[in-house]
Structure 1
Amino acid sequence: MNEYEWLYARTRQGRERGPAPARALLDALGTPDARFGSLRVVGTNGKGSVCAMLEAGLLAADIRTGRFTSPHLTHFEERVRVNGREISAAQTAEFVAWAQQHAPEAAFFDLSLGLAAQVFAASGVQTAIMEAGVGGVSDATQALRNVRALLLTNVALDHTATLGPTTAQIARDKASAALPGVPLLTTATAEALEVVAQVAHDHGAPLYTPHSHPALFALPHLPTLSGPHQETNARLALAALRLLGSEQASSERVLDAALKASWPARLERFAVQGRSVLLDGAHNPAAAAALALAVPHADVLLFGSLARKDSAATLNALKSVAAVRVFTHPAPPVAGEPQADLQVLADLYGGLITEDARVAFRQALSLTPAGGTLLVAGSLYLAGTLRPLLLAMRDASPTD
């Protein structure tokens, strides 16, 4: 078993949830999280995009920056970056060797967080962007010290078995990550915002929203990332840069850099064999609804999901986008991860079943007319499986 197989086998199953185990691990590492400031990013969707924009802005401000995100698309080291560069496989291997001896019972996410904190401290990171895994107060990132701001993107139904079956319960878990005196910025709306506002008041956390501070959340121009939902994500990222940065960190140049950030598999476009392929990681009903607004029509939909997700509801949000559908399986890193029942999806919505994702992609591409559009969605694991193939197959551009 290599270091990655060992890491991926450290699932949460049978292990304690919450920040306490992560705090114990960080203490065992010498409390590296106390040596840099953290911007915590929580929410149902959009966390990764917000993190990418924050990173681009902070780097443009010449701030030594760390970024911790999940999941990865193609390889583990995507999760941990210092100044825009992924850590090395050797750093992962060294940490795993330590963990096998000193923290053999720790969970995968806690270990990933510990690795990130250790690398950030050793690399002299000034500000680290830390994406939560699941939830807020119940997430391992709640263990972090020296948190300078909490960013809450939005709240929708996802991970209901862990966070609760209602939007209000999920909002309370995420918002309860708030800390006294630490700014809480959010673009949540409606019922979720009401809960967030009450929790922020109870916790003594200053609350910033587009309604309360419109100038803070203003967009000088649209972001490079496509879709109306990315405009909302951009407002949150820019608000944090303006609120927390020095004059340099909130300059026009810095904000422009944030708005030009890229983030793979978020409505990422490829030209393949004279067709447009849109790759997106939408994996819950709210994300799928946002995707449908951004892409109201495609010729073919290639969809794959995991059993622990509400696959039918996610697909329902996309059913009007494409009349031709192909269903397949993602390839998650954890062996044996239950995947959605493709026959159930095909019976509900109609379509072809091809279990192997790469074969399914070629089939879906062949069903897409020349000049047409193929949309790939349903899972970041599916996006991660297919993205290397898309990079290899994409049509040459005039500059290639």
Structure 2
Amino acid sequence: MFTTYKEALEWIHARLRLGIKPGLKRMEWMMERLGNPEARIKAVHIGGTNGKGSTVTFLRSILQAGGYTVGTFTSPYIEQFNERISVNGKSISDEDLLKLANIIRPLADELEETELGGPTEFEVITAMSFYYFAEVNKVDIVLFEVGLGGRFDSTNIIQPIASIITNIGLDHTNILGNSYEEIAFEKAGIIKEKTPIFTAAKHPGARRVIEEQAEKRQAPLYRLNQEFSITAHRTLANGEMYTLTTEFQIMEQLEISMLGKHQTENAALAVVAAQYLTQNGSIVVTEQAIRSGLKHAYWPGRFEIVSENPLIIIDGAHNDEGITALVDELSTRYADRSLHIVFAALKDKKLDQMISKLDQIASQISFVSFDFPRAAEAKDLFMISTSQNKIAVEDNWGDYLDEVIKSIEPNSVLVITGSLYFISEVKPYLFKFSKNTIISL
């Protein structure tokens, strides 16, 4: 039995050694022992490659504005581990996390002795979230973000009232497949019988797979640029504005405070899902709640301006699609400024295209390593780059950032990007700077 939060967290993290073990049998085994708490939760399931966390945030904010108590299960975390299990944006307490760890630990030990083997870190956290929302802190609705893929993801034992699949990209190809179609098939595994599915998938092959799986399961399907569409997009100084047309309503001049045209698509998914669920009586949200929720939605580490003077942006662009969105946004907003990009990544990503796109816009690009089992070495990233102004930082990235921030020119932008695991280390580090300088922390 754990007696402290620190002990519980160390046990959870130690399970990373088990790696990724796709499949639902271990989750089903644990849930049966716990009396199937996942069956007592009203849930929305959110999968896809990019934009899952942002879509969760938009929908949570809309539902909160409508008066609901909303649980969320997300990954990875940016500032604190506890934020992975939250209620109305407030992270689970250390005390409750300790309680949950002591409930799940005996099951994990028992499971270890079976032919199924012990649960992974993600399976343990998922099991904790199910029990938490069903027994410890009951809420009106829970938004579950898929960890990896969908079909065999540990969250996929739920029976949601709606499922959402954001855009599909070539990520985790060593596990999910090498084509858009193969990856889409895994993502589409969250589609349930006669349960509505909302998607912003753009690749024709990926969309076709989702359409086929929705038809097979008789699931009502809502697709970006078909059943709902975005028009009249305008970039604002502190967000985006657009018109959303759905079969339920036309909403003009919707505003979001999260930056980037791609965020209008994530917001649109949240809105059309909320409209559908209101129509069928699962929830009730008004137009005012939708507008207010969108405007106040905030998700850390996604094109987030953490300092205005000097201008510092952090963005968890950890795959090709994410980098493309980042490059487009930087080119639109800061075409007249020099860009110093600091990049760190996981070594199992497709790095060549990501780095090539950053090379094209960076006045200077620096590659750093960080303390994570799958992190790429700075020198390896450096070798991929073709930039004439590249630097490999082999030692402490924190000391390097200190130097860079002190020397930023007035017309320059410092962009820190790459792995979300890296961003989760960088953002708290920036607390050391004056609060008069660093904002939005």
Same fold at TM > 0.5: yes
Give the corresponding residue for 1:216: 246
Once the two structures are superposed, residues 58-113 of structure 1 have per-residue CA deviations (whole angstroms, 9 ceiling, x without a partner) of 11111221100000113210101123321111111122222222213211111111
Is 2:309 the partner of 1:304?
Answer: no
Please say if residues 179 and 205 of structure 1, whose CA atoms lie closer than 8 Å, have aligned partners that are also in contact: yes
Is 2:206 the partner of 1:192?
Answer: yes
Once the two structures are superposed, residues 186-214 of structure 1 have per-residue CA deviations (whole angstroms, 9 ceiling, x without a partner) of 01122211111111111221111133323
CA distance 1:51–1:317, change in 2 (3 Å): same
Is 2:75 the partner of 1:61?
Answer: no
Q: Secondary structure at the match of 2:302?
A: coil
Structure 2: how far apart are the matches of 1:151 and 1:330? 33
Give the corresponding residue for 1:252: 287
Q: Secondary structure at the match of 1:4?
A: helix
Q: Secondary structure at the match of 2:342?
A: strand
Match of 2:101 among 88, 93, 96: 96
**In the alignment, residue 102 of structure 2 is paired with which amino acid?**
A
CA distance 1:398–1:37, change in 2 (3 Å): closer
Give the corresponding residue for 1:361: 401
**TM-score, scaled relative to structure 1:** 0.92
Is 2:424 the partner of 1:384?
Answer: yes
Please say if residues 357 and 382 of structure 1, whose CA atoms lie closer than 8 Å, have aligned partners that are also in contact: no
Give the corresponding residue for 1:38: 43
CA distance 1:398–1:264, change in 2 (3 Å): closer
Structure 2: how far apart are the matches of 1:99 and 1:113? 10
Once the two structures are superposed, residues 234-262 of structure 1 have per-residue CA deviations (whole angstroms, 9 ceiling, x without a partner) of 11011111111268733122111331200
**In the alignment, residue 110 of structure 1 is paired with which amino acid?**
E
- Further displaced range: 242-251 or 345-354: 242-251
**In the alignment, residue 268 of structure 2 is paired with which amino acid?**
R
CA shift at 1:395, angstroms? Answer: 5.1
Runs in 1 of length 4+ with deviation above 6 angstroms? 397-400
CA distance 1:184–1:394, change in 2 (3 Å): farther
Please say if residues 63 and 126 of structure 1, whose CA atoms lie closer than 8 Å, have aligned partners that are also in contact: yes
Give the corresponding residue for 1:161: 174
CA distance 1:284–1:15, change in 2 (3 Å): closer
Q: Secondary structure at the match of 2:15?
A: coil
Match of 2:377 among 338, 341, 344: 341
Aligned length: 394
Give the corresponding residue for 1:207: 221
Alignment of 1:44-55 (within 5 A): 44-55=49-60
Please say if residues 29 and 114 of structure 1, whose CA atoms lie closer than 8 Å, have aligned partners that are also in contact: no
Is 2:25 the partner of 1:20?
Answer: yes
Is 2:314 the partner of 1:282?
Answer: no
**In the alignment, residue 302 of structure 1 is paired with which amino acid?**
V
Give ranges in structure 1 of 5+ residues lacking alignment: none
CA distance 1:395–1:82, change in 2 (3 Å): closer
Q: Secondary structure at the match of 2:167?
A: coil
Give ranges in structure 2 of 5+ residues lacking alignment: 1-5, 110-117, 229-244
CA distance 1:344–1:37, change in 2 (3 Å): same
Q: Secondary structure at the match of 1:222?
A: strand
The sequence identity of aligned pairs, in percent, is 27
Please say if residues 48 and 168 of structure 2, whose CA atoms lie closer than 8 Å, have aligned partners that are also in contact: yes
Q: Secondary structure at the match of 2:255?
A: coil
Once the two structures are superposed, residues 36-56 of structure 1 have per-residue CA deviations (whole angstroms, 9 ceiling, x without a partner) of 211000000000000011111
Give the corresponding residue for 2:194: 181
Once the two structures are superposed, residues 313-363 of structure 1 have per-residue CA deviations (whole angstroms, 9 ceiling, x without a partner) of 32222222212011112344xxxx032132132133242222322123223
Structure 1: how far apart are the matches of 2:209 and 2:320? 21
Please say if residues 136 and 176 of structure 1, whose CA atoms lie closer than 8 Å, have aligned partners that are also in contact: yes
Please say if residues 304 and 329 of structure 1, whose CA atoms lie closer than 8 Å, have aligned partners that are also in contact: yes
Alignment of 1:99-178 (within 5 A): 99-104=104-109, 105-122=118-135, 123-144=137-158, 146-178=159-191
- Further displaced range: 86-95 or 247-256: 247-256
**In the alignment, residue 241 of structure 1 is paired with which amino acid?**
A
Q: Secondary structure at the match of 1:10?
A: helix
| Larger fraction in strand | 2
